[in-house]
Structures are given as structure tokens and as C-alpha cells.
Chain A
Amino acid sequence: MGGVTVLAIIRPDSWDFPLFLHVLGAMILVGGLLSSASSLGFARGDVRFLRLGYWSLLAVSLPGWVLMRGGGEWIASREGWTKSGVDDPTWLGIGFLLADLGGLILLVSLIVGGIGVYRLRQGKGSGLLKATLVLALVLLAAYVIAVWAMAGKPD
């Protein structure tokens, strides 16, 4: 309880805007992943919903990731965590790891899904979009852990 109270009191006002961008980006990212996974998962071969699932990743999750990662770097810098010789706390380490690894997986899912969407014109590509669905679900699970770590700040 003390940790929550102290953290809330000591955060300077100048940290608020980068934190807002970071959280907003993360929420958009998670929303895009939820949309993508739902559309791809319930598409049942319908090209319209397979495309919707892919575009949710490209047009929502990707900009969300950029905003989340940029805002995260900004707030980490403001808090002094990016200075050399300063050890990251566990929660920040989890956040950075999952953000960066998640970014890589998002990139792979966009490439795989992009090929899948392109091949839909020839009546193929649904297998690649199933792989994209799996990656979107993995990302969703990873970012739930990241949100828990960033919000709860475990030691």
C-alpha cells in the first residue's frame, strides 16, 4: 500500500504528458490486437473479416506500438532510468523486454499477414492469416503481462 501511495505523490507534473502518450499508445495497441484477434478468429474464411483482422493490426496496433514505445522511452528518460549505470527495476525490465520483443513479433505478424492478405486474391493465404491470429493472441497475452507489471510494479 505504501508503494502505491508514495509513487502517486512523488510523480512530478512534467512526467504526466509522456506518461499519457505511453498509456494511450498501449491502450490503442491492445485495442488493435483485440480487434485483430477477434476478426481473424471469427472470420470463418470470410475474406472481409480476414482483411479487417489484418488492417486492425496495421492501422491500429502498429501506430499504437510506436506511440507506446516512444512515450515509454520518453517517460523512462524523464525518470532517469535510461542513464548509464542506473539499474532498471524489475517492472521496467519486464516492460522494455515485452515492448521490444512484442514489437518484433508484431512486425513478423504484419509481414506474414500482409502476404496472407495479398494471397487472398488468389483464394489462398488463410493459413498465413491463421498464423497471424496466433501471433496476435501471443502479443495480447504478452501485453496483459506488461500492463500488469507496469501498473503493479512488482519488485
Chain B
Amino acid sequence: MSFDEWVLAVHVLSAFAYVGGIVLFWMLIVAVRKIDTPGATIRMEPIVKVGNVAVGVGAVGTIVLGIWLAFALDSYAIWDGWIIAAIVLWAVSAAFGQRTGAAYMRGMTKAKELDAAGQDGSNAELLALNRTVNGVVLHSLTSVAVLLILLDMIFKPWAA
């Protein structure tokens, strides 16, 4: 395998990590809707960290190596329409993803406050924060942006 083929392989693996993290967060979004106690909410934190690492590594790997490939390969140019579209969609997905994280962290923060205050029972306010509609909408938008990146990467519209 040439160096560029290695870069392509790691670029694709990064994309898998990115999507893997997004899928993991979908599972957590479904699970957290039934969680109304601080203890159970806090127990999700290590799983959230796995998702954050996957999304972080995936996001950085896809954009950095993708731009590298756009410059390194003769058949692609950074100003190709499909590459510009991918970069814009990547930025959109990252922005929505960041806001999704912030929406769900409100529940985690509340859970830690309740835990610190010694309240370990059911809490209606915590349940409401864990069921954030805003978070679901934002994660849906993140997922749509990433799906569009995948479609763009494979169908390569406006390719030279």
C-alpha cells in the first residue's frame, strides 16, 4: 500500500469512528429518556466519554486527512464542488453536534448537583432535562448532515 492509500484507509476509518459515535449517542438518547435518577444518569458518563472520543477522533481524522487527500491526489482538487460541499457539511455537523452535547450535558450537570446534595431518588426536573426535545432535534440534524456527507463522498456530485 502506498502512503496515500494508508491515508485514505485512516480517513475512512475516521469516518466510521464519527458515525459510530453518532450511533452510540442515538442509543444513549433512547436510553436516557427513561432515566429519572441522578445515579443512573451519572453512570452513563463513561459511555458518553467513549462517544465523545469516537466523534472527536472521527471528526478530526476525516477533515484533516480528507483535505490532505484533496491536495495529494491528482484527480481531486480542494475547489471541486463535492469537496467544498463535504467541508461545509462537516462544519454544519460539528456545530450541531456541539449543541447536542450541550443540550444533554444539562441533564448530567443536574444529576451531579442532585447527587452532591444527597438526593438520589426520582426527580421530575432531571427526567425533563434527559428528555430534551431540543437535543433530539439537534442530534437528528447532526445525523442528517453526516448522512449527506456520506452521500456526497460516494456519489461525488459536481466532480470535475
Residues of chain A lying within 8 A (CB to CB) of residue B13? 144, 147-148, 151
Q: How many residues of B contact A (CB 8 A)?
A: 44
Counting contact residues on chain A (CB < 8 A from B), the size range is 35 or more
Residues of chain B lying within 8 A (CB to CB) of residue A13? 155
With A34-B54, A38-B47 as given contacts, are A152 and B9 in contact (CB-CB < 8 Å)? yes
Complex-state Cα separation, A63 to B22, whole angstroms: 17
Q: Is B127 an interface residue (CB 8 A)?
A: no
Q: Is A31 an interface residue (CB 8 A)?
A: yes
Contact of B150 among A20, A42, A52 (CB under 8 A): A20
Contact of A148 among B9, B22, B73, B75 (CB under 8 A): B9
Complex-state Cα separation, A65 to B154, whole angstroms: 19
Q: Which of A22-30, A99-107, A116-124 lies at the interface? A: A22-30
Q: Mark A26-54, 1 if CB is under 8 A from B, else 0.
A: 11101111110011001010101100100
Q: Are A30 and B8 in contact (CB under 8 A)?
A: no
Q: Are A28 and B155 in contact (CB under 8 A)?
A: no
Q: Are B1 and A154 in contact (CB under 8 A)?
A: yes
Residues of chain A lying within 8 A (CB to CB) of residue B128? none
Q: Is A60 an interface residue (CB 8 A)?
A: yes
Q: Is B56 an interface residue (CB 8 A)?
A: no
With A16-B154, A20-B151, A42-B46 as given contacts, are A35 and B6 in contact (CB-CB < 8 Å)? no
- Least distance between B54 CB and chain A CB atoms (Å): 6
Q: Are A152 and B6 in contact (CB under 8 A)?
A: yes
- B18's nearest neighbour on chain A, judged by CB, is A27
Q: Are B75 and A27 in contact (CB under 8 A)?
A: no
With A8-B75, A49-B43, A147-B13 as given contacts, are A31 and B155 in contact (CB-CB < 8 Å)? no
Residues of chain A lying within 8 A (CB to CB) of residue B2? 1-4
Q: Are A3 and B5 in contact (CB under 8 A)?
A: yes
- Least distance between B8 CB and chain A CB atoms (Å): 6
Q: Are A31 and B20 in contact (CB under 8 A)?
A: yes
Identify the interface centre among A8, A20, A27, A33: most chain B CB within 10 Å of its CB.
Answer: A27
**Extra pairs beyond A19-B154, A20-B155, A150-B12 (20, CB < 8 Å):** A1-B2, A1-B4, A4-B69, A8-B73, A16-B155, A20-B150, A20-B151, A24-B150, A27-B16, A27-B23, A30-B20, A31-B20, A31-B22, A35-B23, A44-B43, A48-B31, A48-B40, A49-B47, A56-B27, A152-B5
7 sample A-B contacts, Cβ–Cβ < 8 Å, listed by A number: A27-B20, A30-B23, A31-B19, A33-B20, A39-B27, A42-B46, A56-B27
